[in-house]
Structure 1
Amino acid sequence: MPLVSLENTITIALSVSDRHASARWYEGMLGFEPIYHADEAGWSELRTKTPNVTLGLGEHTKPAPGNCVPVFGTSDLDTARHKLEAVGVRFDGETDVVDGMVKTATFYDPDGNALMLAEDLTGEA
């Protein structure tokens, strides 16, 4: 039995310099559908052609090319984080919260690959 419970969703998060331009590119080139642009959070999401898989675009002035972070949905991030930390999993700082939107926490696998947990706070999930 797994240590934490995940939902059947995944977001693949990419670092980009212009979310709106990148969203148009993914829409035109791959047929992904924009879900929303959260300008106040510097974040956009697009629906891919794969059920329950979205593409997240995080805007950064100096994006990290090749940077891809799988984001796993969970209904209780605090409990999941506590369980992972209890067995020595390393997290990158505190949990981030965008009120009414999302709660996220970045952690690392044994090889230093970044992964993220996300809890939907919109009440729509």
Structure 2
Amino acid sequence: MSLISVDKTITIAMSVKDRHASAKWYQRMLGFALLYHADEAGWSEMQTNTPGVAIGFGEHTKPVPGNCVPVFGIADLDTARQKLEQAEVKFDGDTDIVEGMVKTATFYDPDGNALMLAEDLTG
């Protein structure tokens, strides 16, 4: 038995320089919806396309990228990557493939936070 019982939501917190700019980027590039900006708290949240999973942005003058790497499932990684690259999104090297298992590609938001796309290859 666990000490506490958590619910079925996850918020992935990241440091960014400009929460409003980050929210616009995530909305445009990944289709996430703004939940709210709490300007007095220096915090913003976006609903991802996965029920129960949100991303929170904490505003910092010097954000430290790389504090987490959220992985988002995607049906067609190659097409998604092509679209992001056309929008000048930077990727970290080539797409990695583990045959019969998964295809992954790491990319970066404007503040240098690493994100990853993963396509399930298990069939």
The runs of 4+ residues in structure 1 deviating greater than 4 Å are none
Structure 2 Cα separation of the partners of residues 47 and 57 of structure 1: 12
Q: Which amino acid aligns with 1:49?
A: N
Please report the TM-score for the alignment, with normalisation by the length of structure 2.
Answer: 0.54
Q: Which amino acid aligns with 1:3?
A: L
Structure 1 Cα separation of the partners of residues 53 and 7 of structure 2: 11
Contact 1:13 1:69 in 2 (8 A): no
Specify the alignment match of 2:33 in structure 1. Answer: 33
**CA RMSD between the two structures:** 1.6
Unaligned runs of 5+ residues in structure 2 are 71-123
Point out the structure with max Rg over C-alpha.
Answer: 2
Structure 1 Cα separation of the partners of residues 36 and 65 of structure 2: 23
Structure 1 Cα separation of the partners of residues 57 and 69 of structure 2: 11
Structure 1 Cα separation of the partners of residues 43 and 69 of structure 2: 14
Specify the alignment match of 2:61 in structure 1. Answer: 61
Contact 1:14 1:69 in 2 (8 A): no
SS of the counterpart of 1:15? strand
Please report the TM-score for the alignment, with normalisation by the length of structure 1.
Answer: 0.53
Structure 2 Cα separation of the partners of residues 67 and 39 of structure 1: 22
Give aligned-pair identity as a percent.
Answer: 70
Question: How far 1:17 moved relative to its partner?
Answer: 0.4
